Amino acid sequence: MIDIYYWPTPNGHKVTIFLEEAGVPYRLVPVDIGAGDQFTPQFLEISPNNRMPAMVDPDGPDGKAIAIFESGAILIYLAEKYGKFMPKDTRGRYAVIQWVMWQMANVGPMLGQTHHFRMYAPEVLKKDFPPEEVEKRVKYGYDRYSNEAKRLYAVLDNELEGKDYMCGEYSIADMATFPWILPYKRQGVDLETEFPNVRRWFDVMKERPAVHKAIEEGRKVGETARQVSDEERRANLFGKRQWDRGRPAAS
C-alpha cells in the first residue's frame, strides 16, 4: 500500500485525487504543517525540501521501496506506473507534462502568494504595525499577485476553449490544477463573469465522485490539527524556521 505524507492543501489534494480516480489503495500519513511536522527528521528523509506531499511506494520500479517528493513528480510517477490519465503517445504525453509543469511553476507558486498577501500577510503584520502601515506594506504584494492570478486564469480559460479538459482527455494536468482553483474566491476571482471556460471545467471537476471523495478525506485529516499558538503557527508556515532548520547551533 502506498503511503502519502499529507496535509489538506492543494498540493496534497492533487495526489489523492489521482489515487481515488485510479482506485489505488493508499494510506494517509498526516503531516500537520501548522504544528511543524514537516521539520521532523523522519519527514525530511523523504522530503528534503520540508514540503508535503511526499510518497513512499513499497513496490518501486525495481521491486524496492521508492520515496518521491514534489507533487508533480508524484503524479507523473503514478500515471506511468498505473498507465492512467497520461497519453501513451509522445506528443500527447508531453502535452500533459507541459501543463503539469505550468501548474507547478506558475499556478501553485503564484496563487500561493496571492493567498498569502490577501489573507495572511495582514494578520501577521497587524501585530507590529498600525492599520495604515499594514495596508501600505501589503499593497504591493496584494496587487502584484492578484494581477498575476488573473493572468493565469486567463491562460487556463483560453486553453479550455472548446475542451472538456485541459488536454482534451481527463489527465493529471486537470488533477494538478483543480485544487489550486478550488479557493478561487479567496484569490479575488469571479469565475462567472471573467472566466466562463474555467467555470464550466471547474463545475465538471467538482462533481467527479473521486475528486469529491479526495477533498472530503482531506477535510477529515484537517480536523486532526493540533492546537498551537499563533506565533508557533506563523513560524512553522512563514517564519524563520523555514530556513534555519539544520543549521549548527551557535557556539
Domain 2-84+213-241 architecture: 3-Layer(aba) Sandwich (3.40)
Mapped onto helix, strand or coil, the DSSP state of residue 14 is helix
What are the domain boundaries of the chain?
2-84+213-241, 90-206
Yes or no: say if 32 and 87 are a contact pair by the CB < 8 Å rule: no
Give the helix/strand (H/E) hosting 11: helix 10-22
Report the predicted TM-score, pTM, of the whole model to 2 decimal places.
0.91
Q: Where are the alpha helices (DSSP H) in 47-107?
A: 71-82, 90-102
- Phi/psi for 8 (5° steps) reads -75, 70
CATH says 90-206 is which class? mainly alpha
Phi-psi region of 59 (alpha: psi -120 to 50; beta: other; left: phi over 0): beta
Burial of 248 (0-12, 13-18, 19+ CB in 10 A): exposed
User: pLDDT digit of tens for each residue in the chain (251 aa)?
Assistant: 999 999 999 999 999 999 999 999 999 999 999 999 999 999 999 999 999 999 999 999 999 999 999 999 999 999 999 999 999 999 999 999 999 999 999 999 999 999 888 888 887 777 778 888 888 888 889 999 999 999 999 999 999 999 999 999 999 999 999 999 999 999 999 999 999 999 999 999 999 999 999 999 999 999 999 999 888 887 888 765 655 654 444 43
